[in-house]
Every structure is written in C-alpha cells, then in structure tokens.
Amino acid sequence: MPHSDNDTSQSPQVKYIQIEADQAGQRIDNFLRTALKGAPKSLIYRLLRKGEVRVNKKRIKPEYKLQADDSVRIAPVRLPQKGEAAPVSDSLLAHLESAILFEDDRLIVINKPSGLAVHGGSGVTLGLIEAVRKLRPDARFIELVHRIDRDTSGCIMIAKKRSMLRFLHEALRERKVTKVYQAMVVGRWESSDQHIDVPLLRVEARSGERFVKVDSEGKPSFTEFRVLRRFGDLATLIEARPKTGRTHQIRVQLAHEGFPVLGDDKYGDFNLNKELKRVGLKRMFLHAHKISFQHPFTEDQFECESELPQDLSLIFNE
C-alpha cells in the first residue's frame, strides 16, 4: 500500500508493497516517486542502484515495468523532512466533503477553494491532495490529475485509480479534455471571440521568485477567449479555454495583451488591486468553471461545472 507508513515519529521500517492490477505497467522509478512521498529523484535512483529496492527478491533497473502481483521490497529509508505536515482541520475536511462535485470509484472532482494549494511544498505544508488523502483514508490511490493555481478556485480532478490517471493524462496531452475558466480582466475587451498563441518561458528572478513570461525561447501556449459581459471600459468578464497546459498560462497571456486578471498579485495591476480590495475583491478573479471529456468506460460525455463563488460574484453588485 503506497500510503501505509505515514507515521514519521518512528524509525523507518522495511516496506513491502504488493502490486495490484491497476498499478501494473508503470516504471519502478515512477512508482517509487508515489510510494516514497517527498523523496528526491537522486535518492530513488541510488536505492535502485544499490539494490535497496527489489522486486520479487531481485534487483531491478529504473526502467523495469511492474506486473500485477509483483512484490516490491523497499529497504528502510528516512525521507528528508521539511517540518511536520500541518494537521488537517475538521473544518477543512468538512468543507472539502461539501465541495465534492462528483465522485465514483475512479475519479473525484472537487470545487477547490481559493487560497488552498493543490499540494504541499515550497513553504506550503498542506495542500489539497494531502487533505483529500485524509478525507479518503481507505483509498489505495489518490493522485492529482492536473493543477490549478493556489488562488484559483473551481474544478480540479483527482484520480482514485491509476488507469484513470493514465487515461486523463493522455487525454490532456491530446487535447481531448475541455477546461473552461472564467476571469474578470482590466479594461474593455472589444473582440467577442479571440485566441492568444504565444511562447511562454519559466524563469527565476534574482530574488528566487519564479514567474512566467512571453519569450521566443519558451514553449507554445494557446487559449481561446470569449466575452461574457462588459462593464463599460472598466472591466470585462471573459471565458477562457486553454488548449495547452503551461504554468500561469491564462494569467500571463492576458497580462501580455494588456488585460491582466483583476486581483492577480503576480502579473496584474498592483495599484488597481489595492483599490479592489477596498470594495471586496480579496483575491484573483480566476475560476475553473467547467471540465468535460469522453468517459473511457461509459463512453458518455462527462461534464462537471462549478458556478462563480460568492466572493467573486459579489463584485457584480458593486
């Protein structure tokens, strides 16, 4: 069981994992990244090289593909600790339970609240995925299908089966998953329908802060936009349908075109953001509104939708 040894207060123990049919087919190095949460790649490859991870009592190479009923033995290993994980409060668990938009034995879709990172790390000790594992402690497999920014609210998918994770990752790569966002941007967007196609590059400032910019050396990004409602010359509510999945894609594309997202503290209009806080907009106006794809098992069109949360819809009344 990949998540069976969460107690870090005791000395590391030998770990035995029996591979189930749903886990078969993946490389052992990728499997260990899930089984040994927080382990750097260098540690995983060192364990494999030294024979401290064995399958059916034999040494294996990183490219070995697991088979159903394989027995994986992992020698005692102490993972690097960045501090104790934050406890998951009962109130957060109750909120997430009520925020579940869809759940079956393969998939969960959650209406993620703004301000909650999708996973711990980079100074964040608690994320959505850690909380969902607490929410579903008996689930053998809980993994993020994709990510949305910490300040973005709305639909996010979490796989409960590796087969579903593989299917959705392939569907995302082949652009067979439709993701629809709603955003309020600064200024009057004249064109009813428009697309933005620019290369995006991830960079790191001298301060260590990471951000994304439009750069010819970057990777291609493509998003379709449609106007939903104009508020004079002040702001425009738009719909965004990203066809690629670059970090901060929608936010950077809009800022590059001169229409930054309201409340965006990284790429937005900082002076305007201060004014907006005074009238009630406390965070970035970006919401993952809808997600849809053809279900691999029922072959029906699966669709999940989340309406604008109250803290965003209130701005319409200002």
Kindly report the number of other CB atoms within 10 A of residue 2's CB atom: 18
Mean pLDDT on 121-139? 79
Residues of the chain with pLDDT > 90: what percent?
60
pLDDT of res. 248: 95
Long-range pairs of 314-318 with CB within 8 A, sequence gap ≥ 24: 314/280, 315/184, 315/262, 315/279, 315/280, 315/281, 315/285, 318/279, 318/280
Pick the CATH number of 175-317 from 3.30.2350.10, 3.40.50.11890, 3.20.20.140, 3.40.50.150: 3.30.2350.10
Tell me yes or no: is domain 15-74 CATH 3.10.290.10: yes
DSSP class per residue in 122-175: TTB---HHHHHHHHSTT-S--EESS---TT-EEEEEEESSHHHHHHHHHHHHTT
pLDDT of res. 37: 76
Active site residue 105: no
- Tell me the per-residue pLDDT of 34-76, one tens digit each, with 9 for 90 and over: 888 777 777 888 899 889 999 999 999 999 999 999 999 999 8
CA angle 20, 24, 27 (to 5 degrees): 130
Residue-range domain boundaries for the chain: 15-74, 90-170, 175-317
Q: Among the options 149, 151, 264, 269, which is catalytic?
A: 149
pLDDT of res. 117: 87
Residue 122 pLDDT greater than 50, yes or no: no
Mean pLDDT on 1-29? 71
174: nearest Cα among 294, 270, 49, 265:
294
Tell me if 152 sits within 8 A of 103, measured CB to CB. Answer: no
Residue 86 pLDDT greater than 60, yes or no: no
Q: Which residues contact 179 (CB under 8 A, 6 or more apart)?
A: 155, 241, 242, 288, 290, 291
Look at the alpha carbons of 193, 227, 145, 294 in this order and tell me if their dihedral is positive or negative.
Answer: negative
**Termini Cα distance of the chain:** 52
Q: Which residues contact 266 (CB under 8 A, 6 or more apart)?
A: 211, 248, 251
75: tokens are 């020698």
Q: What burial class does residue 138 get, using C-beta atoms within 10 Å of its C-beta: 0-12 exposed, 13-18 middle, 19+ buried? A: exposed
The span from the CA of 278 to the CA of 268, in Å, is: 16
106 by DSSP, 3-state: which? coil
The span from the CA of 230 to the CA of 232, in Å, is: 6
The span from the CA of 209 to the CA of 9, in Å, is: 33
Residue 138 pLDDT greater than 50, yes or no: yes
- Tell me the per-residue pLDDT of 266-297, one tens digit each, with 9 for 90 and over: 999 989 888 888 888 889 999 999 999 998 87
pLDDT of res. 267: 94
pLDDT category of residue 298 using cuts at 50, 70 and 90: confident
The span from the CA of 224 to the CA of 239, in Å, is: 8
Mean pLDDT on 94-122? 90
Residues paired with residue 242 on neighbouring β-strands, in sequence order: 223
Mean pLDDT on 189-206? 88
Asked if domains 90-170 and 175-317 share a fold, the reply is: yes
CATH tag, 90-170? 3.30.2350.10
pLDDT averaged over the chain?
Answer: 87
- Tell me the per-residue pLDDT of 203-226, one tens digit each, with 9 for 90 and over: 987 666 788 999 999 999 999 999
**Beta strand pairing status for 153-159 and 286-294?**
parallel
Residue 80 pLDDT greater than 70, yes or no: no
Residue 114 pLDDT greater than 80, yes or no: yes
Whole-model pTM? 0.74
